[in-house]
Structure 1
Amino acid sequence: MLLAVTTRVVGFAGAALAAVYVLDENTDELRQAETVGDCPGTVYGLSSSYPLSGRSPVADAFRSGQPLWLTPAEVTAHGDGRAEAAAADVSLGALPLGADGRRLGCLVVVDHGGDGFDTVRRNFLELYADQVAALLEACDEPGGGGPVGGAEPGRAPCSPLRYMRVGSFTLVLETGRIDADAQVLELAGIDRDEFDGRVETLLAHTVPEDLPALMSVVEPGHMTPGGRELEFRIRWPTGELRWLRLRCRVLADADGKPERMLGVVAEASHLRPSTDEVSRVQRLSAILATAMTVRDVSRGVVAALREPLGADRVALSELHASRLVVTVLDPPEPSAWPEIWRSEWRSEWPDAPARALPTLQAALREGRASLWTTSTGLEPGLAAVGRGGLAVLPLPADGRLVGACLLGWDEPHEFGTEERSLLTATAGLVGQALVRARAFDAEHELAAMLQRSLLPRKLPSLPGCAAVARYLPATAGLEVGGDWYDVIPLSDRHVALVIGDVQGHSAEAATIMGQIRTAIRAYALEGHPPDVVVSHANRLLVSMETDAFATCCYVALDTEEGDAWFVRAGHLPPLLRDPDGSTCEVAAEGGPPLGVLADAEFPLTVVGLSAGTVLTLLTDGLVESSSLRLEDGLRRVCEVLSATDPSDADRMADALISGADKRDDDVALLLLRYDGLRARPLRAGWAVWRLPDAVMHARRFTARTLRTWNVTQETDAVLLIVSELVTNALVHTQGEVRLDLTLAGERLRVAVSDSSPRAPVKPTSVDWEVTGGRGLLLVEAMSGSWGAVPLSGGKQVWGEIILPSCEL
């Protein structure tokens, strides 16, 4: 039954005899299952069984869980009551057989004379013992050939082991030369006479999908002293696929540098998961293939493992330096986790308390899945995670450890071969997915940060209006997009809204977006009408000598009168929601996109807004995708606008973007609710004639207006501001000069417009013996605030005074 295994041990390691002992739980002893050698085991003093409580090399190794290597002298001195039957001058090795924390038996090897087994032979034999343990564990599963322990006397405890095929090899890391025995070549489907001794020849027979994982084991740059295990597929010349299990160790030279790899390869096709387990792996693969972020990976792991495996707890964490950063705990309630975990709970998830979990740290250092059917003996921080069963899965990727996954069961849980294979496969898949997701998160955050820096940090507060905006980057792809929006206060009664989209997703698109947004803002603040603003931006983009183009929609709104001027450049039409809830598109005639034709015309469309109207500007990412037609997307937005209460503009914006979870394109949304001014400002204007007494006439006009408005206080200050501003305009400019007065509540604004674009400059120092040069200093001293804004072809200088309460 173990004939194949033990024969390989004897053949490759040069042992005189090999025997496998398995645990018989009925009799509480280790019973011999098979022996192979040049003589019967009794010749070397081996018994057919050993009591667990007795003193013998076999029982001692089993109880300690550590290999026991004895020289001839130590064999004689050990004494187990059968020394008189033992042959003289023999070395003995007893290797415990265990899997996932469960002890199954012992592999015993005997050799003639010498100083015992050297380091290389010991490493090979320990690798063989790992393979034997894996197959013994497989036999303990339903359909695996019967139980390991408790079999009837004289009955083979594990008949499938007779079909085990195992081979060995030695790889010289510096040269890449490999010494493989005939069994390894047979497992790989390579003819002995055609093998050239190069590791590349063996790797060429590996299934391409499994090659990266195998390369991470055998590449010198990824190697560290210690043991590794891996399952991979080989395709034979006939086209048949075979699963092989590799267990290897790296031996270092005197300087600690990896020198040789010792490996044992075994047939593993009969240990592969059942159809049900394969479907679970495929399901997890499908979930992880579409997982773009670390959060997506975490949710996928919980969905694919917790319920199908009946686990009570799942914890997934990333390894950052020496810290395990938890990405998900399920269940998410702190009360479901041990106290030491709850003590670290300072944000959404706690850090895994790795320092207080030495067993977890040991499992991560070893890099192999560790399974316990009972938490007895584990530290409380792990024991409470899974009292009935615990799995710790280190997550490898690209030859390094990137995280860990813990699964815990409250009720007793046995790990079958199929489940162990599922967990092993899961670890590799999740590790690779975490690496991809971490890279995506980093690049996406960089793109989002760039996008945020190019968009307004906050929207201004507008009189008689409420404006909100939303921006969502695309979830498909990592590069920054070209969508933008802006709200531009123009004067005391006008505001401009603009939304646009530069073609493509790239750094160039983001750069052009930033330039166009800045240009439109500058043209608007210069006082140009909406069609001129868009025309200037179009000529700028044409002159930039780029193949990219942009669409935009520009709206200038008179917040006092409610008149809105629309200009479209290849962009989607704006949407209007009337106070009665009806929603429609603005029938605004559009021009071509920016950057296409230098002399393109952009017609104006004027629409009057009533109080309670909601104006919506958006980009096509919200209403169009590979699975959504533009007409259907616009219809959905109109329906949401009609059904949502406009009193809360933020809630309305959230409702509009709620269906944009998975986006092919960026989404930009600008929403403005026009409420109208509760109290209409009082306005009066005067065209200043260029006469010697023009300032006197301006003061008289101002005084009459203030009396009409019942403004009796601060009149001297207002008249002084009028005198200085009108004088500056007449002295320093040519052309028409106009005086405008506006009273809005308790704010009185004096504004003087002229035809010169040159902004006034406040002097840094003043000679008080000179009669001129103090005008702006006086305006600044008498006003609550003052400033200058450009107008089309000129400017407007203004000063504002806060009046005491007055009756109008």
Structure 2
Amino acid sequence: MRREGGVGVGPPLPVADLSAADPTADGAGSRPEAPRPDGRHQVLVFAGVALAALYRLTDDGDGMLLVDLLTVGPHGPEGPDRQAPHGLPDSCVASGRSPAAEALRSGRPQWSGSDEPAASWTSSADAPSGEARGEPPGEPPQGALPLVRDGKRLGCLIVVGEPDHNDEGTHGFTAEQRGLVEFYAQEVAARLPDGGPQAGAADGDVTDGVPAPGSAGGGPAVAGSVLGTALEHLGAGSFTLTPGTGRIDADAAMLDLFDIPRGAFDGDVESLLAQTVPDDVPALMSVIEPRQAAPTGQPLEFRVRRPTGEPHWLRLSSRVAAGGARGPARVVGVVTDCSTVRLGTDEVTRVRRMAAALGDATSVREVSRVAVAALREPLGAQRLALAQLEADRLVVTVLDPPQSTAWPGVWHAAWRSEWPEAPLDALPTLRAALRGRRTSLWPEGTAFEAGLAGVGPGGLAVVPLLSRGRAVGVCLVGWDAPHPFSPEERSLLTATAGLVGQALTRARAYDREQELATTLQRSLLPRSLPELPGGVAVARYLPARRGLQVGGDWYDVIALPHNHVALVIGDVQGHSAAAATIMGQIRTAIRAYAVEGHPPDVVVSHANRLLVGMETDLFATCCYVDLGMEEGQAWCVRAGHPPPLLRHPDGDTEEVAVEGGPPLGVLAESEFPMTSVVLAPGTALALVTDGLVESAGLDMDVGLLRVRTTLAAADPANVDRMADDVLGDRGLGEDDVALLLLRYDGLKVRPIRAGWSVWRLPDAVLHARRFTARTLRSWKVAHMTDTVLLVVSELVTNALVHTEGAVHLDLMLTGDRLRVTVRDTSSRTPVKPVIVDWESTGGRGLLLVEAMSAAWGSTPVSGGKQVWCEIVVPAKESPREASPS
């Protein structure tokens, strides 16, 4: 398999083939030999690495040279194919399309076998620029990691994995293995000398595995090489365990972590367990015992005792290595010191405060604000963003600072609502962090995609927010000035990932419940209140704090004929979806009974019988007020509910003494007497539920007095502010609250009415026309006689022909509107014909009514219906204001 300027596994390339791509081809014909593996390399075995290669950037920055090799595992120098590790080119062009060049340019690791955009692993000279082909079938997984120190790019580390699948059953490095390799790359970068590939060595010598000037190949990469030295300083111990035998091979680094002298270890796993805190031994037994073995699970954290008695935190990761012909299956693992990611005293205090604040946060927005507020001060970052993951999109919940100009320009195009939403496909860096479930820290000068460019030019932290092993969101922290990441900051970000992730999961469930509750409550309560002639009505509703925040409190304002309005407020027992359902049914029933024209006591009686017939254990209270807007006459009915409250124009308040009946749904034959009260213009009528005036520590009489005091002090000119004053600054309480407030102003122009009972005689229509003509002359609108008589003739004729029983004609003049209403005893609604046969003599009545009037319709009433129409009286012909006769 041929390579040009790429890095991959395959036969070695001739020097002539690489000279065009190698800016330093003079010494590229030789390559360092791979060293003999030892116990240190077990860390890389656990990481699934069979070959590691170090490429160093040349002095001119145009190319990279292979300066160090390290092979481990069964395919190393002792394996059957000694040439396998040498399938790498001696050099590659830094501006080429190889994974090494792409990793160096972007500052991000490139992994084969992933969905992330990366350079082609099988690049060729004729391949289009930027084309990603993925990994050829059957080849080992590979990775290219940039080597950066103090913001300076030094080269690239290439790792090649075993050709078989990993422990997760997929081809490529697992997230845990990638994290270990990235940690190893950081140690390699820390050990590289400054300068180009020849820096730091005398003529003909090898220093840290880098060929010296004039050296043909630099000799073998021995223990002093960069790759080998980085392993020694990795701070990770490794072991090999044969399950069921109790025998373990531990390297020197692992013994140091357990504080066991290197010459005193007997190879027995019990010697290691003896150093472990007893409470943590059961967790380790899940790796040691074959029947409980779960070596591919999450890393285990445990404690060992120092000689001083102080506990020390270690982290163990393990996996099964297939034995095959070499012997039985083995467990290989890595133990690292995790005390640096354990929180110190100050960090513990911050995390405790964050946890307490997150415990009080209920919604996703509140959780996000708590997290950003907790991180802002200790991190000193210029930008913080938190987003939750929904399907394949990131939904931003909090930005700090909130101004859109402080964030990348790509976000501005998506700023459709308060915060933007971004698809993960447009943010591969975030997508990789979420899939790897690891915090990623990017130094100054890292090149990002357009969606992240400018968020953290001095340093960027991408923190996946985890819950139950999966990512539910992400937190971005960006600095403008160059920012070194301290161990304390890493610890705080690690703690934040778990705490905020769990809080987000809980808050999302809460938000879904509240969305359901809000949708249900809004669908059951009026969307808006009607405009009333001679008055203004407003309403307020506050859900209960407990449960679904949906309950049985309701209110309604129903416009009735003849300038009447019905004000209804009620409360169904309980705070649940069942209570809300009953509430919706009762509210609908009361509205239907009221529109039919029943008096208040009959409306409430019908609703009571309906609730009794529902066979539910819930009951309801209700207060119903029928108010005539012309005279201010109100009829009140109360069913176990707090009484209405009045605020008179002079500021005095009173509690209307309404004789009440029992709650609805208790007795089917209950009586609900009516109480009459007259309202003067400027009077405010308030209907409340018990959640506003009664609680465990508040008696209802005291609560009603408080509302009256607030009404007396409020300004009746602004009804909305008056309602807000009555509620005060109270938040969500133990009971839901409903308030209905109406200010009665009276009609500026009072209507004039006249009526005529139509007898079923042969000349009944003639008498109705004569009555109408006389009435119009007395009202000084005789010029409208022809139009009105035509409409009256058609409506009265239809009622006499198509119905039985009494027929009544009503005329009402209000300002420039004349309303004609014909009532009959039939509930059948008249239907306008769609097609009219012009040779027939019938079917044109309603068409004439529609043509002559501004509006018409049919309204069901108790015992029948009324068909009405309104005719506009021209302004120049309007009569002067008259009093009712």
Q: Same fold (TM over 0.5)?
A: yes
> Residue 854 of structure 2 aligns to which amino acid in structure 1?
G
Find the aligned partners of 2:774 and 2:145 in 1 and give their Cα distance. 109
C-alpha contact (below 8 Å) 1:591/1:600 kept by paired residues? yes
Partner of 2:879: 807
Establish whether residue 190 from structure 1 lines up as the match of residue 260 from structure 2: no
Find the aligned partners of 1:594 and 1:199 in 2 and give their Cα distance. 68
Find the aligned partners of 2:421 and 2:148 in 1 and give their Cα distance. 30
SS state at 1:714 partner: helix
Find the aligned partners of 2:631 and 2:617 in 1 and give their Cα distance. 41
Partner of 2:197: none
Change (3 A) 1:232 1:622: farther
Partner of 1:446: 516
Find the aligned partners of 1:456 and 1:248 in 2 and give their Cα distance. 61
C-alpha contact (below 8 Å) 1:100/1:370 kept by paired residues? no
SS state at 2:566 partner: strand
Shift of 1:486: 2.2
Change (3 A) 1:260 1:509: farther
Superposed, 1:596-745 pairs within 5 Å as: 596-622=666-692, 637-638=707-708, 641-653=711-723, 659-688=729-758, 695-726=765-796, 737-745=807-815
Superposed, 1:312-461 pairs within 5 Å as: 312-352=382-422, 358-372=428-442, 374-376=444-446, 382=452, 384-461=454-531
Shift of 1:404: 0.7
C-alpha contact (below 8 Å) 1:757/1:790 kept by paired residues? no
Find the aligned partners of 1:725 and 1:744 in 2 and give their Cα distance. 21
> Residue 367 of structure 1 aligns to which amino acid in structure 2?
R
C-alpha contact (below 8 Å) 1:494/1:559 kept by paired residues? yes
Partner of 1:175: none
Partner of 2:657: 587
Find the aligned partners of 1:233 and 1:482 in 2 and give their Cα distance. 55
Find the aligned partners of 2:799 and 2:634 in 1 and give their Cα distance. 31
Partner of 2:8: none
Find the aligned partners of 1:261 and 1:483 in 2 and give their Cα distance. 64
Partner of 2:532: 462
Establish whether residue 758 from structure 1 lines up as the match of residue 830 from structure 2: no
Establish whether residue 561 from structure 1 lines up as the match of residue 631 from structure 2: yes
Shift of 1:372: 4.2
Which whole-Å deviations, capped at 9, do the CAs of 1:602-634 have from their partners, x for residues lacking one? 222222222233333343445566787766765
Shift of 1:424: 0.8
C-alpha contact (below 8 Å) 2:803/2:826 kept by paired residues? no
Worse overlay, 417-426 or 261-270: 261-270
Partner of 2:16: none
> Residue 537 of structure 2 aligns to which amino acid in structure 1?
A
> Residue 398 of structure 1 aligns to which amino acid in structure 2?
R
Partner of 2:551: 481
Which whole-Å deviations, capped at 9, do the CAs of 1:542-572 have from their partners, x for residues lacking one? 0111112222221211111111222222233
SS state at 1:301 partner: helix
- When the two structures are superposed, what TM-score results if normalisation uses the length of structure 1? 0.69
Worse overlay, 184-193 or 307-316: 184-193
Partner of 2:647: 577
Shift of 1:102: 9.9
SS state at 1:319 partner: strand
Superposed, 1:19-38 pairs within 5 Å as: none
Please, which runs of 5 or more residues in structure 2 have no aligned partner?
1-35, 43-55, 89-143, 153-161, 168-172, 189-231, 244-249, 251-267, 881-885
Q: What is the RMSD of the two structures over their aligned residues, measured on CA atoms?
A: 5.4
Partner of 1:523: 593
Change (3 A) 1:725 1:327: same
Establish whether residue 784 from structure 1 lines up as the match of residue 854 from structure 2: yes
For residue 503 of structure 1, the aligned residue among 570, 573, 588 is 573
Shift of 1:499: 2.2
Establish whether residue 533 from structure 1 lines up as the match of residue 624 from structure 2: no
C-alpha contact (below 8 Å) 1:386/1:410 kept by paired residues? yes
C-alpha contact (below 8 Å) 1:131/1:266 kept by paired residues? no
Establish whether residue 543 from structure 1 lines up as the match of residue 634 from structure 2: no
Shift of 1:441: 2.3
The count of corresponding residues between Structure 1 and Structure 2 is: 679
Establish whether residue 299 from structure 1 lines up as the match of residue 390 from structure 2: no
SS state at 2:609 partner: helix
Find the aligned partners of 2:238 and 2:556 in 1 and give their Cα distance. 70
C-alpha contact (below 8 Å) 1:649/1:673 kept by paired residues? yes
Find the aligned partners of 2:817 and 2:320 in 1 and give their Cα distance. 83
- When the two structures are superposed, what TM-score results if normalisation uses the length of structure 2? 0.64
C-alpha contact (below 8 Å) 1:565/1:604 kept by paired residues? yes
Shift of 1:336: 2.3
Which whole-Å deviations, capped at 9, do the CAs of 1:684-720 have from their partners, x for residues lacking one? 2345566666554444333232222111212133234
Superposed, 1:6-21 pairs within 5 Å as: 18=40
C-alpha contact (below 8 Å) 1:681/1:742 kept by paired residues? yes
Find the aligned partners of 1:261 and 1:681 in 2 and give their Cα distance. 95
C-alpha contact (below 8 Å) 1:62/1:96 kept by paired residues? no
Find the aligned partners of 2:793 and 2:737 in 1 and give their Cα distance. 51
Change (3 A) 1:795 1:497: same
C-alpha contact (below 8 Å) 2:71/2:77 kept by paired residues? no
Partner of 2:98: none
> Residue 389 of structure 2 aligns to which amino acid in structure 1?
L
C-alpha contact (below 8 Å) 2:547/2:576 kept by paired residues? no
Please, which runs of 5 or more residues in structure 1 have no aligned partner?
1-13, 21-51, 79-94, 104-114, 137-160, 173-178, 204-216, 220-227
Partner of 2:112: none
Shift of 1:745: 0.8
Shift of 1:334: 1.9
Find the aligned partners of 1:680 and 1:418 in 2 and give their Cα distance. 78
Partner of 1:148: none
Find the aligned partners of 1:266 and 1:377 in 2 and give their Cα distance. 31
Establish whether residue 277 from structure 1 lines up as the match of residue 347 from structure 2: yes
SS state at 1:504 partner: coil
Find the aligned partners of 2:242 and 2:647 in 1 and give their Cα distance. 75
Shift of 1:540: 0.6
Shift of 1:297: 1.4
> Residue 315 of structure 2 aligns to which amino acid in structure 1?
R
SS state at 2:603 partner: helix
C-alpha contact (below 8 Å) 2:810/2:822 kept by paired residues? yes
Worse overlay, 710-719 or 699-708: 699-708
Find the aligned partners of 1:320 and 1:63 in 2 and give their Cα distance. 46
